[in-house]
Amino acid sequence: MAAEQQRGIRVTQAELLCKDACGYYGNPAWQGFCSKCWRERTRKAEADRQETGPHNDAGSPLTFSKFEEKKNMEKGRKVNTMRRLFWGGPSPPKRPESSEGQVATLKAYQSIEPGDFTSFLKLLRNPSSQRLQSRCTAFLNTMEAYHGLPVQKQSDLVQDFYQNIAVHFSSLSEVQVSQMMEHMEKLIMTRLHKWVFCHDSCDDEVKDLALQRRIRSLNWVTPHMLRVPFPDERAEVVSDPFLPAITAIIEMDAKRAPQDKLTCVCKCSQNVFQALSSSNSEPANADDYLSGLIYVVLKANPPRLHSNMQYVIRFGLPHSLMAGESGYYFTNLCCAVAFIEKLDGPALNLSPEEFEGYMQGRRAPSKRGSERQKMARETQDQLEDLKGRQEKVDQGINALKEQLQHWVQSVKAQIDEVTSQSALAQEEIKAQSEFLQSHSVSTITQADVKDQSVLLLDGQESNNNTCLTEAE
């Protein structure tokens, strides 16, 4: 019962570390060892094989064994030739460079900001960096000339180059050396990507197709089967919360430098943690992260996933894979791919019959949870749509209110203007009427005086006439 309620795919921290207990992260591609321990064991096994090979073949036919021995000697001769062409001798020079120009150049390298690859390239073109630039150019030209070597030999040469070129920055701090080596890795591997990625000497392309078919056959696996904590029913879900992580892991194939591919893995993992935190009220743990990462890989089915992982393993900087955040995330990605390749019924709490039925398409997982999530998403989309429409209506209403207020204010202003003009007109009319009335009264008075004077004159004249008549 407890196993059924367990969250995520449980992997302990000890299972992620190297089998030699060196403290670094191991990897399924190296059979649980870290890159350093794995290379040491591989080289030791090759040396033992070369020492014991001729004695073991003494009593057997020598035709094929001699052919293989001759072939290996030719490969070794090519590798030694490459090293001589690059270093100018059987071993890399280790003379300390203490000139003033070299010290000034190292100080300039020390001032480069993390991730500022452009400034690194500009500084590499300076005359004071001519020896470092010559080493890089010679190594690139030699690697391109011998691109037909087996990919493992090419990996060894690149790793040897990292170790020898790091001596050039030995006076810097450990953090600054790591930053400079990341720039060097990007410079070298951007040029060598087309020669060493998915090389003809390995079966990466075949394994890519097999892994893609495997992931495609597991498209029926649900988050509930992987015990991935998905959003609750009451949570607001607009889209798949793992979509940014899916996009990041798909982008890994477009990058050419191993460090850039690791950056995509880190971005994917960080988005997985963010999705888990937003999907569940409880904080996400390592088990939740691994199950979420498995779900992301199944949903994304990244192109050439195996080749990209092998490319990072073979040509990436050791410190990026053995420790730190990038090492932890990449180790979990390798565990997720190994889990997918070996996925069976018990891992999903299914019986072998049920698992086989799902694989052959005779059964389909219960869609009640997915349908509920789909309905929740559709409802949320509708609510968001209605909310957007309501906001538009509110904006229209507010705009209409503003227009109505402006119209009312303009009408009121016009009314006030007409009223004031009407009052002025009435005052003017009143003044004119008063003026006219006063003017008409004065006119009438003058006419009456004139008439009275005329009458008086007429009366005086008549009296005078009368007096004259009497006098006569």
In the prediction, which pLDDT does 305 show?
Answer: 95
- Annotated domain spans of the chain: 101-196, 203-366
Sequence-separated (6 or more) residues with CB below 8 Å from residue 300: 246, 249, 250
Which residues does residue 396 pair with via DSSP β-bridges, in sequence order? none
Report phi then psi at 205, rounded to 5.
-65, -40
Q: What angle do CA 84, 85, 87 make, to 5 degrees?
A: 60
Q: What is the DSSP letter of 365?
A: -
Which residues does residue 17 pair with via DSSP β-bridges, in sequence order? 25
pTM of this structure: 0.64
Question: Contact at 8 Å (CB) between 195 and 188?
Answer: no
pLDDT of the chain, 472 residues: tens digit per residue: 333 445 555 555 555 666 666 666 666 666 666 666 766 777 676 666 666 654 444 444 434 444 445 555 555 555 555 555 444 444 444 444 445 656 777 777 777 887 888 888 888 888 888 888 899 999 999 999 988 899 999 999 999 999 998 888 888 888 888 888 999 999 999 999 999 999 888 999 999 999 999 999 998 998 888 888 766 544 445 567 899 999 999 999 999 999 999 999 999 999 999 888 876 666 777 778 999 999 999 999 999 999 999 999 999 998 888 878 899 999 999 999 999 999 888 888 888 888 888 888 777 766 544 555 566 667 777 878 888 888 888 888 888 888 888 888 888 888 988 888 888 888 888 888 888 887 765 655 565 556 666 665 666 666 666 655 655 5
Give the pair of three-digit tokens for residue 7.
Answer: 């969250």
DSSP letters spanning 170-208? TTS-HHHHHHHHHHHHHHHHHHHHHHHTT-TTS-HHHHH
In the prediction, which pLDDT does 311 show?
Answer: 95
In the prediction, which pLDDT does 285 show?
Answer: 79
In the prediction, which pLDDT does 159 show?
Answer: 92
User: CB burial class (10 A; 0-12, 13-18, 19+) of residue 324?
Assistant: middle
In the prediction, which pLDDT does 424 show?
Answer: 86
CA atoms within 13 A on the CB side of 319: 13
Please name the residue ranges forming H helices in 12-129.
Answer: 13-16, 35-56, 63-87, 100-110, 117-124
Tell me the C-alpha to C-alpha distance, in Å, between residue 262 and each of 158, 174, 228, 229, 325. Answer: 18, 20, 24, 26, 10
For the domain spanning 203-366, the CATH number is 1.20.1050.80
Q: How far is CA 122 from the centre of its chain?
A: 27
The total number of residues written for the chain in this structure = 472
Tell me the C-alpha to C-alpha distance, in Å, between residue 260 and each of 26, 205, 249, 255, 256. Answer: 21, 21, 12, 6, 7
For the domain spanning 101-196, the CATH number is 1.10.246.120
Longest pairwise C-alpha distance within the chain: 205
Which residues does residue 22 pair with via DSSP β-bridges, in sequence order? none
* 3-class SS letters over 120-136: HHHHHCCHHHHHHHHHH
